[in-house]
Chains A and B, each alone.
Chain A
């Protein structure tokens, strides 16, 4: 699988440049600088541009110039994400809330899920600003971010930057110990945040996604079934420069265990379908913030 951070600009020098330059620039200059940077990367990173074009063609239904504009917007959204690393990790709770726009209902929903005492699995994706989402969640308790940590100095820098007492990264590469760690966290009524739109292991279910059977990892739903934790599909969407809005679906109750394997798989699949439908609905409007810079569906792009 080709990923965004495999390109030659994802290195510590580039990150240092962002961290040194952007906080020193007046805020009104950020969007134009991001617009130019996004244009440069849009033109230079041909492989990533082709992949995003292919993905957005299916998601947005757009073609030609309208499609390329949306693809460019993905690069622009990525600039916002990278610059947010300068401000989000050290922001206080009130500063974070100050960056939110119209997200009143989300707090009650999270508290209600945690009240049952089984923990909470937040099912998110590479949509909007997931790092901001993990910081927001940490206001409600300890957050365990389940992800594959690449052995790449830039990736490690970003992980270290986001790490705090309330946000821990659980590296899924560790396999079984990572799974046990996540389950234990849920049993302590903590939050587990998982990006469900990338497949890292062999256990997937094919569910309809933009009219195409698409494999999504079963892990989060299995974890929910064992722990009893609800799955809450949620994304933090960009609404202007460093301004965000929380999109939150209805909590999905843990799939009930079944004696027959076919029935058990069906109940897990049903829970997954609900989460994936929410992702699909979010992408219909916000596809220009979906940052999967590889061919999500293995179909060659033609634009």
Chain B
């Protein structure tokens, strides 16, 4: 039981680390794709709404963002059941990227 808990803790930490790393990489990509120059990655919250919020993302911005994400992470982001909800905020987008990376690995 103790070993199982230890293992679970390690797995959780590793997933959280992956997510944190993804978010760290994602924030500059978002700013760069949207041509936002007056904000830094540190200004973006993890729950920062991407759609309908102050970033004012439109269709072309989404394409630019998808292009940059796919190039950076080496995944096909928009495929299968991907929809607008996956772009709701940075947390949701990072989780989607994480799961697509896991899919690609397996």
Contact of A176 among B35, B71, B76, B87 (CB under 8 A): B87
Contact: A226 with B57, CB < 8 Å?
no
In whole angstroms, what is the CA distance A175 to B59 when docked? 6
A225 to B103, CA, bound (A): 24
Interface size of A as a range: 20 to 34
Chain A residue at minimal CB-CB distance from B57: A176
Report whether over half of chain A's contact residues are helix, strand or loop; otherwise say mixed: helix
Cβ-defined contact, A226 with B66, below 8 A: yes
- Known contacts A176-B57, A184-B79; is-contact A225 B51 (Cβ 8 Å): no
B63 pairs with A226, CB closer than 8 A: yes
- Tell yes or no: A213 within 8 A of B by CB: no
A223 CA to B64 CA in the complex, in Å?
9
B62 is an interface residue with CB less than 8 A from chain A: yes
Q: Number of residues in B with C-beta < 8 Å to the partner?
A: 20
**0/1 interface trace, chain B 34-46, chain A, CB 8 Å (1 if under):** 0100000000000
8 Å CB contact of B59 from A176, A184, A225, A257: A176
**Assembly CA distance A184 to B35 (angstroms):** 25
* Segment 38-89 of B: residues with Cβ below 8 Å from A: 51, 57-60, 62-64, 66-67, 70-71, 76, 78-79, 82-84, 87
Contacts from B to A (Cβ < 8 Å): 35, 51, 57-60, 62-64, 66-67, 70-71, 76, 78-79, 82-84, 87
| 9 A-B pairs with the lowest CB-CB distances in the bound complex, closest first | A179-B59, A203-B60, A222-B63, A226-B67, A183-B78, A226-B63, A176-B62, A177-B84, A187-B79
Subset of 24 A-B contacts with CB under 8 Å: A176-B58, A176-B62, A179-B60, A179-B63, A180-B62, A180-B84, A183-B63, A183-B66, A184-B82, A187-B76, A187-B78, A201-B59, A203-B58, A203-B60, A218-B60, A219-B63, A222-B67, A223-B63, A225-B67, A226-B63, A226-B70, A226-B78, A257-B67, A261-B35
